[in-house]
């Protein structure tokens, strides 16, 4: 599925409504990848390299490329969220709202007005009635436009989708392993999980993250140590 917004094309990687029953280990997203979250209910915490944020109903946040983050969920009142994972496959340079979106690789705040649009997205993805792709797209277009409008004051002028591309499926599997294993992940494990040799894993990491495996491991280990120290 493709999402078009103001002349930019995003590839839909995955998304939907879900309950976060387990913590998500610290990780970063690849080049041009953006995960958009809306908290529908429950409690939890978002940890970044700089600080931690309490998550509750109405919270909206975006994590873009190379933004380290991890999510904690409350065991007795777990987070329920809608998330949309997108990868931009083309950028323009002459659109103000687009420039604002790509300039802000991280955002978090209360946006209760977005709730109906995220629930619409979740409903369309669940039911998959004819034309659901258009409905997902138009709701996301509203969310992205309203979000970037809100950033204007800060801006200074100058069910899993089927994937035709095998590398997209491999990339998603790598993301899942990095999220769940964190800095415990190994190159051999990644190779085994996606069914390729370690050399090909390195090529995929360079393509999607702009870093090799050693660099990613160092980043994850550093950020984990930083967050552990910050919470002490």
From first to last of its 232 residues, the chain has per-residue pLDDT tens of 899 998 899 999 889 999 999 988 888 888 889 999 999 999 999 999 888 999 999 999 999 988 899 999 999 999 999 999 999 987 666 677 888 888 888 999 999 999 999 999 999 999 999 999 999 999 999 999 999 988 875 544 444 444 445 666 777 777 777 766 766 778 888 888 777 788 888 888 888 788 888 888 777 776 666 555 455 5
Check which CATH number belongs to the domain holding 116 and give it.
2.60.120.280
Q: What is the pLDDT of residue 151?
A: 80
Of 121, 154, 187, the domain-final residue:
154
Question: In terms of pTM, does the model score above 0.75?
Answer: no
Q: What is the pLDDT of residue 59?
A: 95
- Kind and range of the H or E element at 199? helix 198-209
Nearest in space to 121 (alpha carbons), one of 70, 72, 177, 83: 83
Same domain, 184 and 133: no
Q: What is the pLDDT of residue 62?
A: 94
Q: What is the pLDDT of residue 166?
A: 65
Same domain, 39 and 75: yes
Domain that holds residue 199: 166-231
Nearest in space to 133 (alpha carbons), one of 10, 45, 28: 10
Same domain, 112 and 175: no
Of 125, 154, 183, the domain-final residue:
154
Tell me how far apart the alpha carbons of residues 94 and 101 are, in angstroms, rounded to a whole number.
Answer: 13
Tell me how far apart the alpha carbons of residues 52 and 60 are, in angstroms, rounded to a whole number.
Answer: 15
Of 90, 124, 154, the domain-final residue:
154
């Amino acid at each position: 599925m493709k999402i078009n917004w103001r002349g930019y094309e995003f590839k839909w990687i995955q998304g939907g409504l879900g309950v976060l029953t387990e913590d998500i280990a610290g990780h970063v997203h690849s080049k041009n990848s953006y995960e958009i979250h809306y908290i529908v209910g429950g409690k939890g915490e978002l940890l970044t390299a700089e600080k931690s944020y309490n998550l509750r109903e109405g919270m909206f946040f975006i994590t873009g490329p190379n933004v380290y983050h991890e999510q904690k969920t409350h065991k007795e009142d777990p987070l329920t969220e809608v998330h949309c994972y997108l990868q931009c496959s083309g950028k323009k340079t002459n659109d103000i709202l687009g420039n604002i979106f790509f300039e802000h690789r991280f955002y978090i705040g209360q946006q209760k007005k977005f709730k109906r649009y995220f629930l619409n997205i979740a409903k369309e993805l669940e039911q998959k009635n004819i034309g659901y792709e258009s409905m997902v797209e138009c709701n996301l277009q509203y969310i992205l436009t309203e979000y970037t409008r809100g950033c204007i004051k800060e801006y200074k002028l100058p069910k899993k989708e089927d994937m035709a591309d095998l590398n997209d499926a491999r990339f998603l599997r790598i993301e899942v392993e990095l999220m769940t294993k964190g800095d415990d992940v190994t190159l051999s494990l990644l190779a085994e999980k996606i069914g390729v040799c370690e050399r090909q894993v390195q090529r995929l990491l360079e393509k999607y993250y702009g870093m090799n495996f050693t660099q990613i491991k160092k980043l994850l280990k550093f950020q984990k140590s930083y967050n552990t120290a910050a919470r002490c």
